[in-house]
Amino acid sequence: MRIAVDLNRCQGYAQCVYLAHKDFRLTGQEALTYEPNPDDERRLQVERAAAACPVQAIVIDRLDGAKGSATS
């Protein structure tokens, strides 16, 4: 699955890190890095993380199952 985080919005609340620690990490206190292409197996965790983000900074792909060269 594909995601992006709008780090202008992100305020480092770390909810996402807590809920999907494989795909979201804090470097230091506030700087978030993430895996833009999480394993589909972890979809549920990542979706929970996105839902829990208090500022809705996590953008999730809405073309379910679209993969690779899906230039639709």
Partner 1 sequence: MTVPATVAELVRQFRANGRIVIVGASLAGLRAAEALREEGFTGSLTIIGDEPYEPYDRPPLSKQVLKGWVPADHTTLPRLREVNAQWRLGVTATGLDRAAKQVRLADGEQIPYDRLLIATGTRARQWPNPDEAALDGVYTLRSRDDAAQLQKALAAPPSRVMVIGAGFIGSEVASVCRELDLPVTVVERGSAPLVGALGGVIGEIAAEMQRDHGVDLRCGLGVSSLEGDSGGHVRRAHLSDGTIIDADVVVASLGSIRNVEWLEGAGLASGFWGVGCDAGGRAFDINGVVTDSIYVAGDVARSPHVLYEYQFLAMEHWDNAVLGAEAAAHNMVNLEPHYRPHLLLPGFWSGQFGLNIKSVGVPPFGDEIVFTQGSVKERHFAAAYGRRGRIVAAVTFDHGKWLEYYGKLIEQSGPFPPPPPGWDQPPDMKPIPAEFPQPGVPTAIPDVVLTGHDPSERAAEFRPRRR
Residue 14 interface partner, choices ligand SF4, partner 1, none, CB cut-off 5-8 Å depending on type: ligand SF4
Residue 53 interface partner, choices partner 1, ligand SF4, none, CB cut-off 5-8 Å depending on type: ligand SF4
Q: Which x/- pattern over 30-69 shows residues binding partner 1 (rule: CB under 8 A)?
A: xxxxxxxx---------------------xxxxx--x--x
Please report the DSSP string for the chain in residue order: --EEE-TTT-----HHHHH-TTTEEEETTTEEEE-SS--GGGHHHHHHHHHH-TT--EEE--STT--TT---
Residues forming the site for partner 1 (CB under 8 A) = 1-4, 6-12, 27-37, 59-63, 66, 69-72
